[in-house]
A and B are shown apart, each in its own frame.
Chain A
Amino acid sequence: MNVLIIIIFFLLTFFLKNSSWGNAGLADGTALGVGFILIVAFLFGKIITRWKLPMISGFIIGGALCGPYILKLISVQQVKNLQLLDGLALSLIALTAGGELKLRQLRRRFKGIAAITFSQTIFLIIGFVLFVFLAKSLFSFLPDNNFSQILAFSLLLGVLAVATSPSTTIAIITETRAKGDLTDLVLSITIIKDVLVIILFALFLSFARFLTFPRHTFDVSFLLDLLRDIGGSFLFGGIIGAGIIFYLKYIKAEITLFILGISFFSYQISYYFNFHPLLICMVAGFLVENFSAQGEGLINAIENSSLPIYVIFFAISGASLNLNILQNTWTVALLIVVLRASFKFLGTYLGARFSGEEINIQRLSWMGFISQAGVALGMAIIIERTFPQWGAQFKALILAVIAINQIIGPILLQRIIFQAGEAGKKEI
């Protein structure tokens, strides 16, 4: 039945969009696109669960199928027009992510978290530097025998490989209602790495500029800007968190509306002051969870309305996947994906073993760090603008890598949650 309804929706949308009376110059069909993508992606999610795959993979595949690169029922402009919903969804997911981080857990697992994060980061950066130097013929767009440029490229590729998508991680954890040591560890490391990647990226970008452009000095003044952005995000996240605590404690009513308003406000203000929207909301969620009795109320309020948010967010991310690029670069992209997964395995395994984590975590948890999305994409765009010689090719390659990782990442994460027996353990 679901397949039949999807076909009817495809035909209806195709007919509507091609009707001569449609689009009288007033509407671009964005609302039509939202409705279409919500229903179709949701039905894809439902269908895919029959094969024991996560719903969000269905949302992503549904979005990609309807998007501008396959069936073209949603245009690039419409995908761009949905950025506000995308931003709102991201803020809400980040609030949940922060709210899921328990200070008690972080303290208890500090050694494991630090060791795995450190080990993964080192393995990925060094691994990719070595790979690029050994296989530089694969990257024909890099100038021959130019050590500096090859080093700059490899460092940036390495730092991008470290990033894991917190939104995908939190969506899978919510969908599977997972609770347990492995879940906590994967989530904590993913969130901490997100902050770490932002810092490392700024550092490496400045170094890469110094290597690539002869007149550019290795200027550390960017550290001050970084400090301001990250410090501001923390500070503002603190203020937002305090606001949420106050509201949940004393006013209590219309929590959904309030949370939506706060998310919108955080998203807007982050652009105004150049803060990190994800960081603001994570800090706010973390504060509410760990420094008040209102954490559960916040998470419940968000989770009650989380399904439409996830459907829209992941369907848009599916529609944004540039599949034309994947078609052209899939061999190199696939190689990078395999290497990244291997380095993640090595880094995670050794880090977990060193810190004395249990055998399940040593062997399985690397699969929880494969997904990639917004942060890596944002960084690829900055690289494209900064390095005109090879930035565009770099971005294209990263987009292809993200496309593959975003399809296999959620599936792997769901698999390890089930294997570890942590699915369905969280009470609603």
Chain B
Amino acid sequence: MKAILAFGILLFIAYLGAQGLFSKKKILSPVNYFFISGLIYIVFGVLLGKNVLNVLSPEVLTEFRPLVGLGLGWIGFLFGFQLELRYIRQFPLKYIGFSWLHSLFSFLSVTLVFWLVLGIAFPAHSSFLLTGLAISLGIIASISSSSFIPLVSPLIRKGEYYRLARFSTSIDDFWGLWGIALVTCFWHYPFFKQRVFLNGLLLFFGSLIFCFLLSLIFHLLTRSTSDSKELLVLLLGMVFFVSGAAVYFNLSPIFINMVLGLVFSRLTKHHEKVYPIFISTEKPFYIIFLILIGALWDINFNLKILILTFIFVVFRMISYSFSLPLIEKLLKFPFSLPPVFGLSFLSQGGVGIALAIHFKMAYPLPLTDILVSIALFGILINEILAPWGLRISLVKLEREGLPIKVQE
């Protein structure tokens, strides 16, 4: 009976996947966006997981672990491969500064708040661990969805606020992923007892050299083939290998694959061959990944988590909004950045979720489940709020026609 129900859910998932994921219709309704962004698949994962139907039981999920590693790596590789310097160079340098400072302020404020709050909420735990946890939440908060703004593009006027928001959201994951690499190297589990700094540095630079070497090998492998099936094998093999090595060493598969994708993208001349593979595999991978995340999630819901999630959502929103006047002054921005503009960045998307689940895999501690719950509940709430935030910020600002075209 359970299996038949699961079959029904599977069909429904596939149907939804076919109909709605990343479609550009009715994006500004929170309920629709919850479906369109794919977050509904996390709910399906929860239904199929041990908490409800137990079709994806812990035993089955153990067998699926390599796929979760692959999913994390795939997201990182995709991000790195698509991060083209040509695209970035089209924008003024101030935009890069904006993206970096915006992420930095939200990271610092959420980290600081959680560093204080976690110390009060969990006094029995070591400050080293709580600091790592606060930094991790800060990093997750500093990331916003790169697909949300492009999705709404047919629905709003494409002025300078739109350009800035689109640019910033498309590269702010980059800062977060470097942050996550540093956390996994310097808070390396099981935690270093001595020479934390030196060992962390060794891990960090060792992983970078590893990525460069493998990018070169990958380039050599793909240079002589033009068959898309063979490219798919090599791509899967490489991302599996690199993700597997990262998981084996308890480093971040997302970051290491991002570097792999970034370097490979610079070396290869076969972008037009590799892109179609991504396009054909992106949606299925993402859907499977979200379902697995839902199934892996040990739902931990109590008053403490509720309060911490509330703090996460509110402080992220505050830091995203109220850092804007400061950034405007620091960068001498050519147009005003009203705090309400910060509400355009509420959506967090796949990378935020991937980071949360990476923490679950890398740090098998009771506190990690709490972090994952805060992050995932926070992300779900932010996705629901995102269309509302967009309506009262970006859509409104662009409708009012401010500012007048930037003078570069």
Contacts and interface: CB of A to CB of B under 8 A. Distances in A.
A254 to B, nearest CB: 5
Interface in A231-258: 243, 247, 251-254, 256-258
Interface string A18-53: 010111111101111111101100100000000000
A75 to B, nearest CB: 13
Contacts of B15: 251
Contact of B230 (A19, A25, A307): A307
Given A34-B240, A308-B233, A84 B17 contact: no
25 contacts: A1-B220, A9-B241, A26-B250, A27-B361, A30-B244, A31-B66, A31-B69, A31-B247, A34-B241, A36-B237, A36-B241, A36-B244, A38-B233, A38-B237, A42-B237, A251-B18, A253-B17, A254-B283, A257-B17, A257-B288, A260-B288, A265-B3, A268-B60, A307-B232, A308-B236
Contact of B241 (A39, A82, A268): A39
A16 B256 CA distance: 15
Nearest to B3: A269
A105 interface: no
A23 B6 CA distance: 34
B153 interface: no
Contacts of B232: 305, 307-308
Given A34-B241, A268-B3, A308-B233, 18 more contacts: A22-B248, A24-B250, A27-B247, A30-B244, A33-B244, A34-B70, A34-B240, A34-B244, A35-B239, A35-B240, A35-B241, A38-B240, A42-B234, A81-B62, A82-B66, A247-B14, A257-B14, A311-B237
B367 to A, nearest CB: 16
Contact of B248 (A16, A42, A262): A16
B201 interface: no
Interface string B227-256: 001101110111111111101111000000
Interface in B174-209: 188-190, 203
A328 interface: no
Contact of A35 (B55, B65, B203, B244): B244
A84 B69 contact: no
Given A5-B221, A21-B249, A254-B283, A38 B14 contact: no
Q: Which 9 pairs from chain A and chain B are nearest by CB?
A: A35-B241, A32-B244, A35-B240, A253-B18, A31-B244, A38-B237, A84-B63, A257-B284, A39-B237
Nearest to A304: B229
Interface of B: 3, 6-7, 10-11, 13-15, 17-19, 55, 60, 62-66, 69-70, 188-190, 203, 217, 220-221, 224, 229-230, 232-234, 236-245, 247-250, 280-281, 283-284, 287-288, 361-362, 364
Contacts of B241: 9, 32, 34-36, 38-39
A21 B203 contact: yes
A269 B361 CA distance: 28
A359 interface: no
B372 to A, nearest CB: 15
Contacts of B283: 254, 257
Interface residues on A, range: 35 or more
B284 A31 contact: no
A261 interface: yes
Contacts of A260: 284, 288
A84 B176 CA distance: 33
A96 to B, nearest CB: 14
Given A21-B249, A26-B361, A31-B70, A42 B244 contact: no
- Residue with the highest number of chain B CB atoms closer than 10 Å, among A33, A260, A261, A268: A261
A31 B249 contact: no
Contacts of B247: 26-27, 31-32
A42 B225 CA distance: 13
Interface in A60-100: 81-85
Q: Is the interface of A mostly helix, strand, loop or mixed?
A: helix
Interface centre among A23, A27, A272, A308 (most CB of B within 10 A): A27
Given A254-B283, A257-B284, A260-B284, A26 B189 contact: yes
A293 interface: no
Contacts of A33: 244
Contacts of A247: 11, 14
A165 to B, nearest CB: 22
A254 B17 contact: yes
B248 A35 contact: no
A8 interface: yes
A250 to B, nearest CB: 9
A16 B203 CA distance: 13
A39 B62 CA distance: 23
A81 B11 contact: no
A302 to B, nearest CB: 12
B229 A307 contact: yes
Contacts of B10: 261-262, 265
Nearest to A43: B221
Nearest to A83: B63
A72 to B, nearest CB: 16
Contact of B284 (A19, A256, A306): A256
Nearest to B57: A268
B250 A39 contact: no
A42 B231 CA distance: 11
Contacts of A81: 62-63, 66
A39 B234 contact: yes
A305 B231 CA distance: 11
Nearest to B69: A31
A272 B283 CA distance: 29
Nearest to B230: A307
Contacts of B6: 265
A256 B247 CA distance: 27
A246 to B, nearest CB: 9
A35 B63 contact: no
A92 to B, nearest CB: 14
B19 A253 contact: yes
Contacts of B189: 24, 26
Contact of A26 (B3, B287, B362): B362
Nearest to B206: A21
Quick one: which of B7, B62, B238, B288 has the most chain A CB within 10 A?
B7
B249 A22 contact: yes
B244 A29 contact: yes
Contacts of B284: 254, 256-257, 260
Contacts of A304: 229, 280
Contacts of B288: 257, 260
B66 A34 contact: yes
Given A33-B244, A252-B18, A257 B287 contact: yes
Nearest to B64: A84
Interface in A300-321: 304-308, 311
Contact of A311 (B19, B233, B287): B233
B349 to A, nearest CB: 20
Nearest to A82: B66
